[in-house]
């Protein structure tokens, strides 16, 4: 039976109105929930519960010669994972019984916007952290599947230094997605506000019919507002204040060796296949940690960037990507000339196919009858976002009631191949 978008409590008019308007604002303001696969199930769940997700593993066709040997049939294989309901976003407020109806109407409008902003900001930051937070084994074989991305493209200038966000970053992102056979539809890029400003300046300014066709005229007139997406170079591009940076830097250290790593593989392949990780021996690994983004090159040339996957003594393992989004082999890193360091990166922008990012939302149990509390729960059937507003605990001394808005959610990267990072100022 499909879930009703409204809870059946018809007495909760105030709570329903606040939840409706908060959910409308949430849909307009949230960025990462709109680029993720979302789902919703009816019923009550607790914080910390796991929601199972799965996707089929990739298969490779066989060149069949039935005169020589028959085809061997095998069962379909799936990659399974769990998404934890690890965030219960809550925002509380008071209503007073002596307020006039006019005051209450205005209060509802203002409070709904505040609730949406209170939930959107930490939730977008939480979903962004899925692209940057690593938790993998420090030794042994690692099969990469539901992990953060390793693919990188970068916006650099002629001197090999990071530059303002530009179309080269988007083109490079398409390269690393294409190389992993990621579907060409439903690709998204979310930039930092700084990168978004540079992107508007980098957009080709055209006039007349062409401007109308590609939307350049609208960008010139009103810019790219928070919550908006515009299509460029095959990606839907938008901006968010939740996109972060890399603020920690390390000193440059020499690279004395580079060899193919035999410890990192794709989790989805029927037969083991290396992800292309390279183990580099450096003079000093002080201050270098898993998940940091490294720069490899010279002072005037950025040979590659890569996400650090392992630090073992002075050996650092990562998948090196050139600025245009292609993987590099060990022999493309010039030992003795190229150096290694963790740079400051003002904007670590994200790219993902919608299938790469999962967001699950569940309703918590509403207050039981007789508890004295009133509840309203609303779910958007299109985005699956859910807002619940509960009212209770009437205070005779202040003639007030407590109100609280809730959203129980969890998020996870389910396929590291279908997402990546764009580095820029």
Element (H, E) at 95: strand 87-96
**Same-domain check for residues 146 and 216:** yes
The answer to whether the CB of 359 falls within 8 A of the CB of 411 is yes
Identify the residue with better confidence: 38 or 183.
Answer: 183
pLDDT in tens, 201-239: 655 444 444 444 445 555 555 556 666 888 888 999 999
Q: How far apart are CA 293 and CA 149, in angstroms?
A: 11
What pLDDT, on a 0 to 100 scale, did the predictor assign at position 383? 74
pLDDT in tens, 332-381: 999 999 999 999 999 999 999 998 998 888 888 888 877 888 888 888 87
Of residues 129, 109, 179, the one with CA closest to residue 321: 179
Identify the residue with better confidence: 9 or 127.
Answer: 127
End of a domain among 291, 312, 344?
344
384: tokens are 């699956």
pLDDT at 2 over 50: no
Q: What is the CATH number of the domain that holds 304?
A: 2.40.30
**Same-domain check for residues 119 and 22:** yes
CA 54 from centre of chain: 18
What pLDDT, on a 0 to 100 scale, did the predictor assign at position 137? 96
Give the structural domain span for 101.
13-58+78-131+357-407
**Same-domain check for residues 54 and 150:** no
**Same-domain check for residues 17 and 127:** yes
Q: How many structural domains does the chain have?
A: 3
Determine, yes or no, domain membership for 136.
no
Determine, yes or no, domain membership for 65.
no
* 29 band by pLDDT with thresholds 50, 70 and 90: confident
Q: What's the Cα-to-Cα distance from 288 to each of 158, 311, 395, rounded to whole Å?
A: 27, 7, 54
User: Among 200-209, 238-247, 324-333, 396-405, which is the least confidently predicted range?
Assistant: 200-209
**Same-domain check for residues 368 and 340:** no
**Same-domain check for residues 174 and 223:** yes
What pLDDT, on a 0 to 100 scale, did the predictor assign at position 88? 92
Determine, yes or no, domain membership for 64.
no
What pLDDT, on a 0 to 100 scale, did the predictor assign at position 143? 94
pLDDT in tens, 96-128: 777 666 666 676 667 777 888 888 889 999 999
**Same-domain check for residues 287 and 179:** no
Determine, yes or no, domain membership for 238.
yes
**Same-domain check for residues 233 and 155:** yes
**Same-domain check for residues 94 and 48:** yes
End of a domain among 293, 309, 344?
344
Identify the residue with better confidence: 12 or 339.
Answer: 339
Determine, yes or no, domain membership for 393.
yes
Q: How far apart are CA 7 and CA 376, in angstroms?
A: 6
Q: How far apart are CA 335 and CA 119, in angstroms?
A: 48
* Entry pTM: 0.87
**Same-domain check for residues 258 and 224:** no
**Same-domain check for residues 115 and 36:** yes
**Same-domain check for residues 231 and 262:** no
Determine, yes or no, domain membership for 419.
no
């Amino acid at each position: 039976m499909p879930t009703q978008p409204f809870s059946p409590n018809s007495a909760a008019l105030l709570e329903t109105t606040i939840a409706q308007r908060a959910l409308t604002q949430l849909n307009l303001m949230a960025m990462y929930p709109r680029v993720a696969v979302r789902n919703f199930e009816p019923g009550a769940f607790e914080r910390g519960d796991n929601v199972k997700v799965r996707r089929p593993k990739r298969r490779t066709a066989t060149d069949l010669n039935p005169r020589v040997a028959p085809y061997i049939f095998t069962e379909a294989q799936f990659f399974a994972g769990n998404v934890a309901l690890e965030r219960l976003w809550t925002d509380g407020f008071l209503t007073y019984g002596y307020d006039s109806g006019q005051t209450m109407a205005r209060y509802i409008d203002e409070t709904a916007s505040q609730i949406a902003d209170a939930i959107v900001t930490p939730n977008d930051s939480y979903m962004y952290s899925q692209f940057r937070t690593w938790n993998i084994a420090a030794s042994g074989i690692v099969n990469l599947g539901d992990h953060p991305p390793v693919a990188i493209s970068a916006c650099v200038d002629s001197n090999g230094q990071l530059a303002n966000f530009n179309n080269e970053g988007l083109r490079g992102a398409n390269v690393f997605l294409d190389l992993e056979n990621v579907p060409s539809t439903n690709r998204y890029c979310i930039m930092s506000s700084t990168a978004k400003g540079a992107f508007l300046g980098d957009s080709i300014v055209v006039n007349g019919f062409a401007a109308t066709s590609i939307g350049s005229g609208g960008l010139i007139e009103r810019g790219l507002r928070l919550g908006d997406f515009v299509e460029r170079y095959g990606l839907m591009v938008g901006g968010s204040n939740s996109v972060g940076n890399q603020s920690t830097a390390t000193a440059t250290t020499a690279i004395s060796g580079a060899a193919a790593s035999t410890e990192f593989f794709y989790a989805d392949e029927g037969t083991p296949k290396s992800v292309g990780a390279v183990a580099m021996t450096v003079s000093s690994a002080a201050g270098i940690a898993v998940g940091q983004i490294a720069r490899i090159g010279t002072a005037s040339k950025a040979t590659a960037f890569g996400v650090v996957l392992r630090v073992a003594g002075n050996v650092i393992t990562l998948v090196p990507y050139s600025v245009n989004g292609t993987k590099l082999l060990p022999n493309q890193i010039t030992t003795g000339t190229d150096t290694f360091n963790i740079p400051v990166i003002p904007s670590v922008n994200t790219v993902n196919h919608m299938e790469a990012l999962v967001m699950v939302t569940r309703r918590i149990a509403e207050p039981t009858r007789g508890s004295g509390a009133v509840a309203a729960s609303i779910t958007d059937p299109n985005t699956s976002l859910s807002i619940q507003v509960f009212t209770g605990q009437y205070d005779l001394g202040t003639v007030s009631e407590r109100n609280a808005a809730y959203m129980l959610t969890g998020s996870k990267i389910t396929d590291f191949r279908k997402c990546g990072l764009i580095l820029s100022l």
